[in-house]
Structure formats: structure tokens, C-alpha cells
Amino acid sequence: QVQLVESGGGSVQAGGSLRLSCAASGYSSSTYCMGWFRQSPGKERELVASFYTGNGFTYYTDSVKGRFTISQDTTKNALYLQMNTLKPEDTAIYYCATYRELTSPCNVYAATYDVWGQGTQVTVSS
């Protein structure tokens, strides 16, 4: 059974950077969509970025394009989200999530992802 554990959240001033990590275990020999979601109070959980393990295809929501980078390290079974030029509106709890998928692109809806990490808080102050 796949398990995910996030780390790397914290507090930073606007314009700063953070890198989130997601340690994955229990994967079978299949292809997966892996995504970073975020949720702030009163808002729906939204997909920030996704990565398809089959071909490396990536997706970014418009608000983070050019600032965030999603990547995978297969040797460490880890997924990363490098976040640069952070803005106060990036403040949220960030979750790593995954589901098994045979083809890209990955789905953007949270309900499709069936394994979730516990979340890590990111706070950006102005």
C-alpha cells in the first residue's frame, strides 16, 4: 500500500523560497500520477502541480507557472515542489497525493487521488 509523508513547509517572507518533499513508499511496478494540492481556509483543495511517472509529463495551475517546479527523484522515491517567488496568496496547507494511472495527462480533481499525505503548512508573510 502506498504511503506518502510530506516535509519542508514553514514560514517565509514574500519573495522567498521553500522546497517541499514527499517521501513515497509501497509503490508497485506501475505508473502513477503524483500531485501537490493546497488548501487554505474557506477554499476548496486545488491542484498546484502534477507529475506523471510514465513519461514525466507535468502540469501547473496558472497561478504558479514560472514560480513552482515539480520533480521526482526515483532513486529516493521522492516527489518535490520547489516554490520560488512566494506570495502571501500561496499560504495554505500543501498535500502530496497520488493515484495509479496508465496514461497522461493526470486528472486535476482531488477526488481522483486516492492516497494522501498528512499535509504541511506553508505561510508566506507580506
Per-residue pLDDT of the chain (126 residues; tens, 9 = 90+): 889 999 999 999 999 999 999 999 887 778 899 999 999 999 999 999 999 999 999 999 999 999 999 999 988 889 999 999 999 999 999 999 999 998 889 999 999 999 999 999 999 999
The pLDDT of residue 2 is: 87
Tens of pLDDT, residue by residue over 31-67, are 899 999 999 999 999 999 999 999 999 999 999 999 9
For 112, 122, 125, 126, the CA distances from 91, given in Å and listed in that order, are 24, 5, 8, 11
